[in-house]
Amino acid sequence: MHRRYALTLALACLAGAVAGCAQGPLTEDDVAAARSLYAVELKGFVVEQDPMTLPAPAPAAEGEDAAAEDAPAAGAVEGEDAAAAEGMTGLPPAPATADVVLDLLVRRTGGGDRLPGVTVDVEQVDAQERPKATYRVWVDTSGLGGKGATTQVTQRLEDVEVAPDDKFAVEIRDEVPPDMRSEYREFAEATSP
């Protein structure tokens, strides 16, 4: 009888301890502190662009092959006129629009409150390191364990104007000003203090 009572009491204490450890709703201050316990690293990125489809050339009529090879193409410009024509059309090409797939490594750097996900700031810069665009992506961290745990995820940025020498950088901002918190999902899900 005493064993059953002791076992029941032990189970009740264990259930109470587990319930006491369960994380309740977080305030914005809790979220700000919890965000500081996450870090992100860009392992690489891939630009996925649809290949441009060109119309197939029209088949040449019989006997036109030899004549076509010797004659300049219609509208072709030769000599100095070619250099002048190139100068007129030598505008930089319009940026290509493509999807960019980011390979991210997310790490917990400390113990404390866990977040179901964090918003990662992504900055796109050109070849001279001048900022071009900023994006925010939500990364699911619900399965990420305690201090030192890592997870590798991919995130897709759609319809990005990207040039061949563009680069990307990622970060989890240390401080998010109150007027910008609505742009970060973890703050939007927080309770009022």
Q: How many domains does the chain have?
A: 1
pTM of the model: 0.66
Looking at residue 157, what is its pLDDT?
96
CB atoms closer than 10 angstroms to residue 72 = 8
Paired with 157 in beta bridges are 100
Written as six digits, the tokens of 127 are 């070849």
Strand, helix or coil at 182? helix
pLDDT of residue 80: 52
Q: What's the pLDDT at 182?
A: 92
Residue 151 to residues 36, 39, 84, 136, 154: CA-CA distances in angstroms? 17, 11, 55, 18, 10
- The pLDDT tens digits of the residues spanning 111-153 come to 888 999 999 999 999 999 999 999 999 999 999 988 999 999 9
Residue 141 lies in a domain: yes
Structural domain includes residue 10: no
Domain assignment present for residue 145? The answer is: yes
Q: Is residue 148 part of a domain?
A: yes
Question: Which residue has tokens 């319809």?
Answer: 159
174 in any annotated domain: yes
Classify residue 64: in a domain, yes or no. no
For residue 169, give its domain range.
Answer: 24-48+96-188
Q: How far apart are CA 46 and CA 20, in angstroms?
A: 45
Domain with 33 in it: what CATH number?
2.60.40
As a whole number of Å, the CA-based R_g of the chain is: 29
Q: Which residues of the chain register pLDDT less than 70?
A: 1-24, 50-95, 192-193
Task: Determine contact, residues 115/40, Cβ cutoff 8 Å.
Answer: no
Examine residue 139 and state whether it is found in any structural domain, yes or no. yes
At 191 the pLDDT is 75
Dist. CA 20–CA 32, nearest whole Å: 22
Which residue type does 25 have?
P
The per-residue pLDDT for 138 is 96
> Is position 137 within any domain?
yes
DSSP code per residue over 11-70 = HHHHHHHHHHHS--PPBHHHHHHHHTTEEEEEEEEEEE-PPPP-PPPPPPPTTHHHHHHH
Q: Per the structure block, which two tokens stand in for 175?
A: 């401080």
Rounded to an integer, what distance in angstroms lies between the CA atom of residue 22 and that of residue 27?
15
